[in-house]
Structure formats: structure tokens, C-alpha cells
């Protein structure tokens, strides 16, 4: 796989909140769009205008779109550069008004919300991210602790998946299935480690009843900070936030981010077959319109600023894009994957991104002044409770779509991680100036 050259835009240190105006060849005050209901993003138009306004090769953007289309049933690709929405295309049932369940992309909202909490409630967190949180002040639900090592878990561990708490396996209610041994893959200093799953004393798991308790009670597979395991740590972080700020994570996001950024309708997938979840799931399930996820990414691109307001502390945003001292084992920092180690080759080293199940992802690339959104699948009205999108161009023929065993951009089928990283390479490779 090869990509073309890309231009790196260097901003003077003294001007951190200025953007490079591609056509004028000068620095300008950042542009912030009104809500979609009031006009939304300034769009350059597609095709040749992408080259003129944003320095992007339109043919290579089309290649990136075709790749996304070849790796997902319903979805789309949106590219924002220099404050211009220069590319927006959908396929299948997807459209701008879709509310797909973005699954693990919800974790980045949990992280950013915790960054805001740390700023607003400094007196409760004198040690910042190093604050130990398995205390009766923050997590009374965790007591008595199942393992004395839990007392050393810090907020930064929860936000980098290094708490040391292993996953639990649960049997469906009424199941008589044997307790088959399960496992997860942990990482210790870059090496994969098999982590056996465990069963709680109550083998029957009801997510409605046990949403919180199942996240804070369990076995430790390692001491805090000594290994990385993708699990339920971000939900525990959302429990801390809920107790400190006195409201659900969704309410907090609505007040501190959604209303200020101009989101349209949005929510979380909290409706399950067993009933509605009692709390916002901090580890997954957020559902946003496509042009609104760009608002979130653009706010991060602007160091937490929106207009003349600092929504997220600039220092916390800076930490999102860097390796974290709380995770010495993988390129996962405060709920974002970072590319400082170039594990995504031929992609910008300063790119940071968050993906979700199925291959959806949002990318922020400061050096290219760019935000990208790779949409996967369509609405989930049953799970989110949000109205289904009214899409007159819906293509139902893709409902039975299956991935082809060979992809023209990759030798073989495309899994979620491969699709996410290859999209980053292809869109970054479209930059010509």
C-alpha cells in the first residue's frame, strides 16, 4: 500500500488558535459554523473545488470513499479541512440525518467529559488524572473491594484501560449452558497476553440491574497500570463523573458540549430487550448525526475552543493526542488511539482517532488541519429511541451486502481495525498542498 506525499502545516507556537487560509496564504481567525438548522458548515462543493479550497486530490478522495463502501454495508465518508466541509458522501441507507449507534466511539465523549470535570471540580481532584478513585467518596458501589489492589486504581487508569480489572463472562438469564472458559487479549509492553475471563458468583447477568456493579466488581488480572485490556473501565469513569457532577453523563454532555456546539438530535443506545438501562453507558452507544461528530472533532482540532469559549481545557486536549504515562503498553491514550509511534504507516504521526464496532471512526489530524468521519451502518431507532432518518435516497439493495473476500485496496477481507487505519491512510494521502 502506497500513499502520495502530504503537506504538513506548521503553526507558530505563539499563534495556537489560528488556521492557515489555503487560498489567501495567510493566517486567519478560525471559522466556527452555526448549527445545521441555521446553515451549518460552509461547503466548498465537491469535485475540483476540493483541490482549490482544501488542497485535496478529488480522485483520491473518491478512492477513499470506494474503500469505505467496500468495507461496510451502510455508511459514508466526510472530510473537513481548513474549516470547509469538502467531502460528504453516503451509501446504502445512510444519510446526514442518520443516528447510527457509534458503539465505542462513545468512549471519547466520556474522556472529554472527564477532562471538563477535572477543570470544574479541581478541589475534588487535587491529583488530577492521578487521583485514586476506588474510594467511598467516588465509588461507594465498589465496596467492599474485591481485591485490595483496586485501591490503587487512578482516574488515568480508567481512561486508558489499564485498571487491571479483567472482563467477566455472563450467562443469559435462564441459560443452562456450561460455564465455558473465555478469554480476552491484554497487552503488556506491546506483547499480547491471554487474560482468562471469569464468572461472578451470580452467573446470570441482567444488564439493567447490574450495569454499575458488574463494572466495579470482579477479578484483577494485573495490578493497576501493569497491563492494557479493552474493557469496561470507561463506564467506571462515567460513574465517578456522575457522582461528582450530580447528573448523568448524557446530561453533562448535553449541557457542556452538545448545546454549545450546536448538535441536532442525538442520544445514547440505552434501550435493550430486558428494558432501558438506568444510566448512560460510559463505554459505548452514543448516536450522533454525521455533521455533528465533525463539530466535536473540530472543537478538538481547535484546542477545545468553540467560538470565543474554551469548552475543554486545552491542556487536556493536548494529552489526548500523546502517549499517556498511565498506559505504557499500547498506543491508546485517554480513549484515543495515537499514531506517535507510526503504527499506522504513511499516516500523520500527530493523528489521533477513536473507532467503534463495525469500523466507524473519527480522526483529528492537527498537522493537516483536518477532521474525518467514517460512518458505519445506519440508524438504530430501537436502541436509541431517536426517530429514524427520513432518507429519500436510501438504497435498500445493500441490506444483504456481504464483504468481498478480496478488497482492491487490501489483499483479503477488511476487518474493523484494518478499515479504520486504511481510511486514515487514504484520506491523508489525498492531501496535495
**Integer CA distances (angstroms), 27 to 12, 17, 82, in order:** 10, 10, 11
Give the model's pLDDT for residue 358. 85
| Beta carbons within 8 Å of 115's beta carbon, 6+ residues apart | 312, 313, 316, 317, 319, 334
Q: What is the pLDDT of residue 425?
A: 97
Position 4 scores a pLDDT of 33
Q: pTM for the complete prediction?
A: 0.89
Q: Which residues of 289-301 are buried (b: 16+ CB within 10 A; e: fewer)?
A: bbbbbbbbbbbbb
What pLDDT shows up at residue 403?
Answer: 77
pLDDT at residue 46, rounded to an integer:
60
- In this predicted structure, what is the pLDDT of residue 23? 39
Q: What is the pLDDT of residue 237?
A: 98
- Closest listed residue to residue 170, CA positions, set 213, 212, 214, 209: 214
CA–CA gap between residue 311 and residue 259 (Å, rounded): 11
Place of cell 491471554: 194
What DSSP line would sit under 320-368, residue for residue? HTS--TT-SSSSEETTEEE-TT-SSTTS-TT-EEEEETTTEEEEEEGGG
Q: How far is CA 115 from CA 241, 254, 261, 367, in A?
A: 10, 15, 17, 23
Whether a cis peptide bond, with omega within 30° of 0, leads into 144 is yes
Ordered mean pLDDT values, 10 residues apiece, the chain (433 residues)? 32 38 51 95 73 89 94 93 94 94 96 98 98 98 96 98 83 50 78 75 62 90 96 96 98 98 96 90 96 98 97 98 97 97 96 94 98 89 90 90 67 72 96 92
Question: What pLDDT does 8 receive?
Answer: 32
CA dist., res. 48 & res. 330, Å (int): 40
Q: What is the pLDDT of residue 420?
A: 94
Cell (9 digits) for 399: 441490506
How far from chain centre, in Å, is Cα 237?
Answer: 15
Amino acid at each position: 500500500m502506497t500513499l502520495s506525499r502530504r503537506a504538513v502545516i506548521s503553526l507558530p507556537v505563539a499563534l495556537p488558535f489560528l488556521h492557515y487560509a489555503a487560498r489567501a496564504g495567510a493566517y486567519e481567525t478560525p471559522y466556527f459554523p452555526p448549527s445545521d438548522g441555521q446553515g451549518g458548515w460552509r461547503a466548498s462543493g465537491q469535485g475540483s473545488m476540493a483541490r482549490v479550497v482544501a488542497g485535496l486530490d478529488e480522485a483520491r478522495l473518491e478512492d477513499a470513499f470506494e474503500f469505505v463502501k467496500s468495507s461496510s454495508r451502510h455508511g459514508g465518508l466526510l472530510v473537513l479541512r481548513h474549516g470547509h466541509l469538502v467531502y460528504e458522501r453516503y451509501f446504502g441507507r445512510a444519510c446526514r440525518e442518520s443516528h447510527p449507534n457509534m458503539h465505542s466511539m462513545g468512549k471519547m465523549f466520556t474522556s472529554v467529559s472527564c477532562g471538563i470535570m477535572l477543570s470544574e471540580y479541581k478541589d475534588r481532584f487535587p491529583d488530577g488524572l492521578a487521583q485514586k478513585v476506588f474510594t467511598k467518596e467516588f465509588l461507594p458501589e465498589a465496596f467492599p473491594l474485591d481485591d485490595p489492589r483496586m485501591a490503587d486504581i487512578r482516574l488515568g487508569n480508567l481512561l486508558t484501560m489499564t485498571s487491571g480489572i479483567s472482563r467477566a463472562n455472563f450467562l443469559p438469564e435462564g441459560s443452562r449452558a456450561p460455564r465455558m472458559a473465555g478469554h480476552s487479549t491484554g497487552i503488556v509492553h506491546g506483547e499480547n497476553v491471554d487474560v482468562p475471563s471469569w464468572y461472578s458468583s451470580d452467573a446470570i447477568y441482567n444488564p439493567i440491574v447490574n450495569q454499575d456493579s458488574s463494572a466495579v466488581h470482579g477479578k484483577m488480572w494485573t495490578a493497576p497500570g501493569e497491563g492494557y485490556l479493552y474493557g469496561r473501565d470507561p463506564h467506571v469513569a462515567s460513574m465517578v463523573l456522575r457522582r461528582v457532577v450530580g447528573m448523568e453523563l448524557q446530561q453533562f454532555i448535553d449541557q457542556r458540549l452538545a448545546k454549545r456546539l450546536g448538535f441536532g438530535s442525538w442520544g445514547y443506545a440505552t434501550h435493550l430487550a430486558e428494558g432501558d438501562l438506568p444510566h448512560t453507558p460510559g463505554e459505548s452507544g452514543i448516536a450522533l448525526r454525521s455533521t455533528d461528530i465533525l463539530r466535536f472533532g473540530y472543537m478538538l482540532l481547535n484546542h477545545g475552543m468553540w467560538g470565543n469559549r474554551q469548552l475543554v481545557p486545552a491542556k487536556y486536549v493536548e494529552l489526548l493526542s500523546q502517549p499517556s504515562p498511565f498506559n505504557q503498553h499500547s498506543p491508546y491514550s485517554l480513549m484515543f488511539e495515537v499514531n506517535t509511534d507510526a503504527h499506522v504507516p504513511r499516516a500523520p504521526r500527530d493523528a489521533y482517532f477513536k473507532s467503534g464496532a463495525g469500523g466507524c471512526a473519527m480522526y483529528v489530524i492537527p498537522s493537516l488541519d483536518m477532521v474525518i468521519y467514517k460512518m458505519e451502518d445506519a440508524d438504530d431507532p430501537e436502541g436509541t429511541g431517536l426517530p429514524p432518518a427520513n432518507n429519500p435516497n436510501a438504497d435498500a439493495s445493500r441490506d444483504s451486502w456481504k464483504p468481498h473476500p478480496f478488497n482492491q485496496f487490501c489483499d483479503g477481507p477488511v476487518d474493523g481495525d484494518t478499515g479504520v487505519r486504511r481510511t486514515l491512510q487514504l484520506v491523508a494521502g489525498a492531501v496535495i498542498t
